[in-house]
Structure 1
Amino acid sequence: MPTHPSRPPRDHLPPTSCWIATIIEPVPATKEIAQMTLKTHSGSCHCGAVRFEADVDIAEGTIKCNCSSCTKAGRYRVVSGAESQAGYQWTPPGRSGPTIQFLFCKVCGIRTPGRGEMEAMGGTFYAVQVELLDDVDPDELAAAPIQYMDGRHDRFDRRPDDIRFL
């Protein structure tokens, strides 16, 4: 499999389609949040036109969701290439407006981290795909717990009945 010159080879990483939800606001004053160990990871799209940094604690785990967007397809800041992104918002049936803004690289088409607002997710959050992180430790990622969410049925507190394809 060819690799991008700015990235390490990906064949050593476990297969995954996980993402990390970083809750931005409101920030709950809990012991769990205080014990998180945030690390700044750098990431990029496939072609490198969009580069970002995300402050996340991989040990807190990743999320796999079965909503139509996740199955088809930290604190976060774009370091370079913001002009190379295009946005997409979708309003799910029964909702008054979009719940998440997806961003894509205009050059290679890879989805870059998105921003959402959902009460079920704790308010404002960013979804950072772990596949985009260039410097993630494969052992740390493999050891991270995975939380499954039934986003297809708006049951973000439940595991989907079928996780075989997540």
Structure 2
Amino acid sequence: MPSYNGSCDCGAIQFDADIDQPNGAILCHCDECKIRYGAFCPVFPVPDDKYKITKGKEYLKSWAYKGDSGEPVPCTFCSNCGTNLYRQPKPFAGNKIVIAGTLKEAWNSEELKPTASVYNSKKLHWFTIDNFKNLDQE
């Protein structure tokens, strides 16, 4: 499982994440992702034990929004610059849903690319998901 480095925008928080590439990135079209990131957000599920903060733990802050299930969805961010680092929704218990943009070096590589899409009924009408596995159908 390849390991990648990531950070928040200001660099106060840095981390290493081991990403199981066959799972690939997931494009999330939920309302929260649209509000925070624009049209959608590419994310990676990373097992909790494969995500290690290497610098800046003192800058970690969390808050939660109410998910579709009615359960809170904890979100962790940098208290210095506000960068969202990951979420931990109950359906993905044991994983951090890492915001792909925090993997600055790796995100531009050919290794990490979106392969699936979720919350497709909420996607913006102009975005095409024809080339992505539809996780809503599973």
Superposition TM-score, scaled by structure 2 size: 0.70
Q: Equivalent residue of 2:67, what SS?
A: coil
Number of the residue aligned with 2:109: 138
* CA RMSD, 1 decimal: 2.3
CA contact (8 A) 2:30 2:123 kept: no
Give the alignment of 1:32-47 within 5 angstroms: 38-47=1-10
Relative to structure 1, the CA distance from residue 49 to residue 165 in structure 2 (aligned partners, 3 Å threshold; closer, same or farther) is farther
In structure 1, stretches of 5+ residues that fail to align are: 1-37, 151-158
* Cα distance per residue 1:45-77 (max 9 Å; x no partner): 010001111110334321111212221212212
* Cα distance per residue 1:117-147 (max 9 Å; x no partner): 21xx4x4321112211133152223xx3421
Superposition TM-score, scaled by structure 1 size: 0.59
Number of the residue aligned with 1:116: 89
Give the alignment of 1:69-88 within 5 angstroms: 69-73=32-36, 74=46, 75-88=50-63
Number of the residue aligned with 1:153: none
Relative to structure 1, the CA distance from residue 55 to residue 85 in structure 2 (aligned partners, 3 Å threshold; closer, same or farther) is same
Q: Equivalent residue of 2:32, what SS?
A: helix
After TM superposition, which residue ranges in structure 1, 4 or more long, deviate above 6 angstroms?
A: none
Number of the residue aligned with 1:68: 31
CA contact (8 A) 1:41 1:134 kept: no
Q: Equivalent residue of 2:16, what SS?
A: strand
- Count, aligned residues: 114
CA deviation after TM superposition for structure 1 residue 94, in Å? 5.8
Q: 1:134 is matched by which residue type in structure 2? A: K
Number of the residue aligned with 1:27: none
CA contact (8 A) 2:62 2:74 kept: yes
Relative to structure 1, the CA distance from residue 60 to residue 79 in structure 2 (aligned partners, 3 Å threshold; closer, same or farther) is same
Q: Equivalent residue of 2:34, what SS?
A: helix
Q: Equivalent residue of 2:82, what SS?
A: coil
Relative to structure 1, the CA distance from residue 71 to residue 162 in structure 2 (aligned partners, 3 Å threshold; closer, same or farther) is closer
For 2:15 and 2:95, locate their aligned partners in 1 and report how far apart those are by CA, in whole Å.
Answer: 16
CA contact (8 A) 2:85 2:102 kept: yes
Larger Rg: 1
Higher normalized strand content (fraction of residues): 2
Higher normalized helix content (fraction of residues): 2
Q: Equivalent residue of 1:131, what SS?
A: helix
